C-alpha cells in the first residue's frame, strides 16, 4: 500500500514533501535556546565542520539578538541557513551535544541556526560587505556551496570575483540534489540572493567551462582560478539493459524532482540500486511521489550500508522495503524496464561474491541507479599539471586548497570526493584564504 497519493499540484507536492525541520517561531526558539547549557569548549562546535560557535549564537538568540546570531553563523559558514536544514546534524553538532549523554533530546541546533539566518535574510540585514578592492581578480568555476563560499570570502578580502556556472541557478546540489523535504528551492535561492547582494560577486549562469580555450582565457585574465565543480552525473553500471527507458540515474532523477516537482514521472514499482544516502533519498522521494512499492536493493548487508542510520529510518518510515545481499545482473524489459535480474551475494573476507544459481527477477517499472557520481575527469585533464588521485579527486593542500597547478585552487566535492554542503562551504572559505595567502606572498 502506498503511503502517499501521487501529488498533482504544488500544494499536494509540498504536503508530501513537508519540511523535516520546519521553521521555528520566536517562542519555540526562545524555549529551545534556553535549554542550551552553554558548555565550556563546547563539543557541538568541534563537531561542526565549519566550526560555528554554537553556544554563542544560541545565547544570542536567547537574548533577543537574532541578528548577532546570524552574524556568528555566517562568519563561520556562508551556507548558514541551508546547513541548518540540510546538515546531517544527527552525526554532527546535535550528535555531539552533551544532552545525548544524559539520554535527553539534544538541542535542535540546526533549526535554531535556520531560525536566526532566515530572519536576517528576510529582513535583509546587512551583515557583510566587500572588502576594499585589492586590484586582483579570481575566476570561480561552479556556483555550488564551494564556489559561492569562496566567492563571498574572496570578496570580503577585496578580490574581484567572476563565477561561471553551467546551470541556470546557483547553489549547486543544494537546489539540484538535496531532498525537497529538507529545504525548498525558494529558501535556498533566497540565501543565495542575500549573499550575492551583500558581497557583490558576479555569476554568469548557463556558462559551462568545457574547453582548453576557455580555461586559457581564465588563466590569462585572472590571478587565480577556483574549481568548485563538484562531481558529475551518475556512474554507469555497465549492465545489459541499462539503456532501457525508465532506468535512470539518481542524481538526474532528483534534479528533475527539484525543478519539476510533482511533474516528475515515477514508476508504480520502483527499485533503487545502492546503499548510500543518495539511494535513501531517491527511495524516499519515489515513495512521496506516490510510487506504490519502493525497494532498496543493496549488494551487502543492512549494517554495511554507507547511509546514515537516520536516513534509512526515514526511508523505512515512508514504506520503503530493503532487499539486501543482492547484486543486479541485468535490467530486464522490452524497450521499457520490466524488472531487475538479481543474484544473491555473500561476503567472503570482505569481498562481495555472487552465489551461483540464486538468480531471480524482481519485477518493476522503474530503476533508479544510486551508485555514485562520476568525476569530471574530461575537464580536469585539460588543466596542465593538475594531479588527480586514484579515486578521481583533485589533489590539493589540506589547508590552502592549492592544487598541483599553483594557479588552481579547489575544495568541495571535487576534492573530498563527495561530502556535505557544510564541508564544501567550510573548506572553500579556507581555500579562499589560501588564495589570498598565495597572491599576497609575492607582494
Partner 1 sequence: MPDLSINFAGIKSPNPFWLASAPPTNSGYQVMKAFDAGWGGAVWKTLGVPVVNVSSRYGGVNYRDKRMMGFNNIELISDRPLSDNLREIEEVKKRFPHHAVIASLMVQSRQEWHDIVRDVQNAGSDGIELNFGCPHGMCERGMGSAVGQEPEVLQTIVEWVMEVAKIPVIVKLTPNISDITEPAMAARRGGADAISLINTIQSIVGVDLDLFAPYPIVDGKGSNGGYCGPAVKPIALNMVKNCAQHPDVQLPISGIGGIESWRDAVEHILLGASSVQVCTAAMHYGFGIIREMTSGLEQYMTEKGFHTIYDMVGKALPNVKHWEDLNLKYKVTAEINEEKCIGCQLCYTACEDGAHQAIRLNEGTRVPEIIQENCVGCNLCSLVCPVEQCITMERRDDGTEHLTWKERTEAGTIPTEFDDERAGGRHHWVPAPAAALGKEKHKTLPGKARQYAAADAAALESSAVERPK
Ligand X SMILES: Cc1cc2nc3c(=O)[nH]c(=O)nc-3n(C[C@H](O)[C@H](O)[C@H](O)COP(=O)(O)OP(=O)(O)OC[C@H]3O[C@@H](n4cnc5c(N)ncnc54)[C@H](O)[C@@H]3O)c2cc1C
51 binds ligand SF4 per the rule CB under 6 A: no
Of 85 and 369, the one with the shorter C-beta distance to ligand SF4 is: 85
Query: By CB under 8 A, is residue 52 in contact with partner 1?
Result: yes
Does 61 sit near ligand SF4 (CB under 6 A)? Answer: no
Shortest reach from residue 70's CB to partner 1, in Å? 12
- For position 65 contacting partner 1 by CB under 8 A, the verdict is no
Q: How far apart are CA 100 and CA 43, in angstroms?
A: 11
| 315 makes contact with ligand X (CB under 6 A) | no
* Cα gap 146→77, rounded to integer Å: 11
Least CB distance to ligand SF4 at residue 94 (A) = 8
| 362-381 positions binding partner 1, by CB under 8 A | none
Q: In angstroms, give the least distance from the CB of 208 to ligand X.
A: 4
How buried is 345 (Cβ within 10 angstroms: 0-12 exposed, 13-18 middle, 19+ buried)? buried
Q: Which of 29, 209, 224, 383 binds ligand X (CB under 6 A)?
A: 209
- Residues 29, 42, 280, 428: which binds ligand SF4 (CB under 6 A)? 42
Instruction: Establish if 412 lies at the interface with ligand X (CB under 6 A).
Output: yes
**Touching partner 1, residues 76-135 (CB under 8 A):** 76, 98-102
Q: Tell me if 31 contacts partner 1 by CB under 8 A.
A: yes
Q: Where are the alpha helices (DSSP H) in 271-383?
A: 277-288, 309-317, 377-380
* Residue 410 CB neighbours (<10 A): 31
Q: How far is the CB of 388 from ligand X (least distance, A)?
A: 15
The yes or no reply on residue 205 touching partner 1 (CB under 8 A) is: no
Contact 272, 294 (CB under 8 A): yes
Task: Fill in the per-residue mask, 253 to 292: x = in contact with ligand X (CB under 6 A), - = not in contact.
Answer: -x-----------------------x--x-----------
Residue 208's binding partner, choosing from ligand SF4, partner 1, ligand X, none, with beta-carbon cut-off 5 to 8 A by kind? Answer: ligand X
Contact present, 300 and 348 (Cβ < 8 Å)? no
Answer yes or no: are the C-beta atoms of 396 and 412 closer than 8 Å: no
Of 166, 190, 237, 388, which one interacts with ligand X (CB under 6 A)? 166
Helices 277-288 + 250-260 axis angle, to 10: 40
State the Cα–Cα distance between residues 420 and 48, nearest whole angstrom.
11
Cβ proximity to ligand X, 111 vs 182, nearer residue? 182
Instruction: Work out whether 98 is an interface residue with ligand SF4 (CB under 6 A).
Output: yes
Nearest residue to ligand X, using CB? 144
Q: Which three cell numbers stand for residue 137?
A: 581578480
Please identify which residue in 83, 86, 97, 257 interacts with ligand SF4, judged by CB under 6 A.
97
Q: How far apart are CA 58 and CA 112, in angstroms?
A: 7
What are the CA-CA distances from residue 37 to residues 68, 88, 99, 254 (Å)?
19, 22, 9, 39
Gap between the Cα atoms of 177 and 155, Å rounded: 27
Calpha distance 264→87 (Å, rounded): 25
Contact yes or no for 352/341 (Cβ under 8 A): no
The answer to whether 48 contacts ligand X (rule: CB under 6 A) is: no
| Minimum gap (Å) between residue 42 Cβ and partner 1 | 8
- Pairing state between β 351-354 and 360-363: unpaired
Contact predicate 191/121, CB 8 Å: yes
Q: How far apart are CA 293 and CA 315, in angstroms?
A: 12
43 binds ligand SF4 (CB under 6 A): yes
Q: Are strands 224-227 and 408-410 parallel, antiparallel or unpaired?
A: parallel
Asked if 374 is part of the footprint of ligand SF4 (rule: CB under 6 A), the reply reads no
The separation between CA 190 and the C-alpha centre of its own chain, rounded to angstroms, equals 17
The partner in contact with residue 248, picked from ligand X, partner 1, ligand SF4, none with C-beta cut-offs of 5 to 8 angstroms by kind, is: none
Q: Among partner 1, ligand SF4, ligand X, none, what binds residue 109 when CB lies within 5 to 8 Å by partner kind?
A: ligand SF4
Q: Which residues bind ligand SF4 (CB under 6 A)?
A: 36-39, 42-44, 54-55, 97-99, 106-107, 109
Q: Which residues bind partner 1 (CB under 8 A)?
A: 30-31, 33-34, 37-43, 45, 50-53, 56, 62, 72, 75-76, 98-102, 430
Amino acid at each position: 500500500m502506498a503511503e502517499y497519493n501521487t501529488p498533482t499540484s504544488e500544494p499536494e507536492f509540498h504536503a508530501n514533501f513537508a519540511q523535516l525541520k520546519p521553521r521555528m517561531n520566536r517562542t519555540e526558539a526562545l524555549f529551545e535556546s534556553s535549554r542550551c547549557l552553554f558548555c565550556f569548549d563546547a563539543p557541538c562546535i568541534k563537531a561542526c565542520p565549519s566550526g560555528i560557535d554554537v553556544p554563542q549564537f544560541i545565547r544570542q538568540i536567547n537574548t533577543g539578538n537574532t541578528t548577532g546570531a546570524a552574524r556568528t553563523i555566517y562568519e563561520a559558514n556562508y551556507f548558514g541557513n541551508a546547513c541548518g536544514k540540510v546538515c546531517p546534524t544527527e552525526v554532527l553538532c546535535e550528535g555531539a551535544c552533551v544532552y545525548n549523554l544524559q539520554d535527553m533530546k539534544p538541542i535542535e541546533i540546526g533549526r535554531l541556526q535556520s531560525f536566526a539566518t532566515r530572519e536576517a535574510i528576510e529582513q535583509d540585514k546587512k551583515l557583510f560587505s566587500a572588502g576594499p578592492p585589492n586590484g586582483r581578480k579570481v575566476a570561480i568555476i561552479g556556483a555550488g556551496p564551494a564556489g559561492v563560499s569562496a566567492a563571498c570570502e574572496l570578496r570580503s578580502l577585496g578580490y574581484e570575483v567572476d563565477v561561471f556556472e553551467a546551470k541556470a541557478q546557483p547553489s549547486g546540489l543544494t537546489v539540484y540534489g538535496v531532498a525537497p523535504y529538507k529545504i525548498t528551492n525558494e529558501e535556498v535561492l533566497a540565501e543565495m540572493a542575500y549573499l550575492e547582494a551583500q558581497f557583490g560577486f558576479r555569476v554568469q549562469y548557463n556558462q559551462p567551462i568545457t574547453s582548453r580555450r576557455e580555461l586559457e582565457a581564465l588563466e590569462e585574465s585572472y590571478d587565480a582560478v577556483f574549481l568548485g565543480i563538484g562531481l558529475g552525473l551518475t556512474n554507469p553500471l555497465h549492465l545489459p539493459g541499462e539503456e532501457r527507458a525508465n532506468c535512470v540515474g539518481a542524481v538526474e532523477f532528483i534534479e528533475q524532482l527539484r525543478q519539476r516537482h510533482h511533474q516528475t514521472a515515477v514508476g508504480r514499482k520502483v527499485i533503487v540500486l545502492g546503499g548510500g544516502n543518495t539511494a535513501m533519498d531517491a527511495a524516499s522521494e519515489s515513495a512521496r511521489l506516490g510510487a506504490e512499492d519502493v525497494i532498496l536493493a543493496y549488494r551487502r548487508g543492512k549494517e554495511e550500508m554507507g547511509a546514515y542510520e537516520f536516513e534509512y529510518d526515514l526511508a523505512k518510515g515512508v514504506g520503503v522495503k530493503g532487499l539486501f545481499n543482492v547484486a543486479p545482473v541485468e535490467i530486464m524489459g522490452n524497450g521499457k524496464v520490466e524488472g531487475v535480474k538479481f543474484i544473491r551475494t555473500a561476503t567472503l573476507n570482505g569481498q562481495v561474491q555472487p552465489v551461483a544459481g540464486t538468480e531471480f527477477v524482481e519485477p518493476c517499472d522503474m530503476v533508479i541507479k544510486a551508485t555514485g557520481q562520476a568525476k569530471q575527469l574530461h575537464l580536469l585533464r585539460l588543466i596542465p599539471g593538475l594531479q588527480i588521485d586514484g579515486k578521481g579527486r583533485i589533489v590539493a593542500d589540506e589547508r590552502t586548497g592549492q592544487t598541483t597547478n599553483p594557479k588552481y585552487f579547489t575544495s568541495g566535492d571535487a576534492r573530498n570526493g563527495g561530502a556535505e554542503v557544510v564541508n564544501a562551504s567550510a573548506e572553500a572559505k579556507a581555500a579562499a584564504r589560501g588564495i589570498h595567502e598565495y597572491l599576497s606572498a609575492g607582494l
